[in-house]
Amino acid sequence: MKVRMTLLAGIAAAALLSGVPDVGAQATEKTTQTQGEFFMTEPKAFTLEVPGASIYYERQGSGPPLLIIPGGPQDAGVFAELSARLSHFYTVVTYDPRGNSRTTTDAPLGDLDLGVQADDAAALIDALGDGPAYVFGTSGGAQIGLELAVRHPAKVRTLVVHEPPAIMLLDDPTAQLAADKDIHDTYKREGVDAAMAKFFGMNDLDAGPGHGAEGQAAGEVPADAEPAGPPGSDMPPEAAETFVRVSGNFEYWLAHGMLPLSTYRPDVAALKAGAPRIVVAIGEGSAGQPIEEMGRALAKSLETAPVAFPGDHMGFEPHAQQFAEVLRRSFAGK
């Protein structure tokens, strides 16, 4: 029985309702289709030169600046519908973080440096203009957002951190750290497919709510586990491209990104003393999962109450409209 890697499918499906522009410094914009009752347009694509890298980013909409920071191996294409819905109220920038997809670097990258990642995010806010910016970070992107608020507090108006893997704030992080090390060791020993199968199984992200591999309890990974292939031929070309890009980022994330993100300990004192207001977002569908415990640990450290968001760890994709509404209320302090 094969592990169904529906987290990856979910990542790719986030681009199903919107096109992804080609890479390049030249800006392009094109109207796409109507989804429900809102009208989607493709964003403009740009690159931003920063020390050691050329950051690919997409910009759309008008209004106060909003930066979306992807998590782990994700890129800008993952947030296509969410960005389009938010673009009616904000100038939205999504991007491919250093190490992922269409962002290029001057030299091969070593382990992910959250300080450098935060500086990249700050440079994007400067490029947006009219700061400070609203910032939304999910998963590992939430960790980068926290470091951004520590290093560049004047650039952030409100930061919403969605399900950060704040392992180091748990009362006892031993078990979670061991689990992540096991995934990393599996990658080094057996490769990307085996490590990702184990990651999805451990995090109950394989076959839908309450299940790991098909027909198995969460966390169980069969000996013959292997990733599912890309969705069928009915997948729009832009979504298929996103699927391929994100799956191509797994190698860097497993080798150099996962452990630095999960062992990051935010400077809680600086965050509490700093100017940005911080909202901890936890998916309603993540109840009882380790990621909920991590989010609550961060909220407790910051002496704030977490806010419930639609869906689970990928809730911004299947529940984009509701997610955008809750995000707007969170930015407004309601």
The residue to which tokens 């030299």 are assigned: 107
Average pLDDT, integer, range 98-110: 96
Instruction: Read off the tokens for 201.
Output: 């199984």
Q: Is the pLDDT of residue 93 over 80?
A: yes
> Which of 86, 88, 83, 124 has the alpha carbon at shortest distance from 103?
124
Please tell me the predicted confidence (pLDDT) of residue 263. Answer: 96
CA distance 293 to 205: 16
Please tell me the predicted confidence (pLDDT) of residue 37. Answer: 54
H-helix or E-strand spanning residue 66: strand 65-69
Higher pLDDT, 242 or 104: 104
CA distance 103 to 95: 8
Q: Is the dihedral of CA 138, 140, 143, 145 positive or negative?
A: negative
In eight-state DSSP terms, residue 256 is: I
Encode pLDDT of 126-138 as tens digits.
999 998 999 999 9
Quote the percentage of the chain above a pLDDT of 70. Answer: 78
SS3 assignment for 138-206? ECHHHHHHHHHHHHCHHHEEEEEEECCCCHHHCCCCHHHHHHHHHHHHHHHHHCHHHHHHHHHHHCCCC
Domain parsing of the chain, residue ranges: 15-181+266-332
Q: Is the pLDDT of residue 260 over 80?
A: yes
Q: Tell me how far CA of residue 284 lies from CA of 233, 291, 292, 314, in angstroms.
A: 32, 11, 9, 11
Encode pLDDT of 1-27 as tens digits.
333 343 343 333 333 223 333 333 333
- Whether 190 and 166 have beta carbons less than 8 Å apart is answered as no
CATH of 15-181+266-332, one of 3.40.50.1820, 2.60.40.10, 3.40.140.10, 3.10.180.10: 3.40.50.1820
CA distance 321 to 84: 10
Task: Report residue 322's pLDDT band, with 50, 70 and 90 as the boundaries.
Answer: very high
Please tell me the predicted confidence (pLDDT) of residue 206. Answer: 43
Please tell me the predicted confidence (pLDDT) of residue 314. Answer: 93
Instruction: Read off the tokens for 283.
Output: 């998916």
- Whether 3 and 201 have beta carbons less than 8 Å apart is answered as yes
Task: Report residue 282's pLDDT band, with 50, 70 and 90 as the boundaries.
Answer: very high
Coil, strand or helix at 78: helix
Please tell me the predicted confidence (pLDDT) of residue 202. Answer: 79
Q: Which of 131-140, 172-181, 240-249 has the lowest mean pLDDT?
A: 240-249
Q: Is the pLDDT of residue 229 over 70?
A: no
Output the average pLDDT for the chain.
83
Task: Report residue 240's pLDDT band, with 50, 70 and 90 as the boundaries.
Answer: confident
What is the pTM assigned to this prediction? 0.83
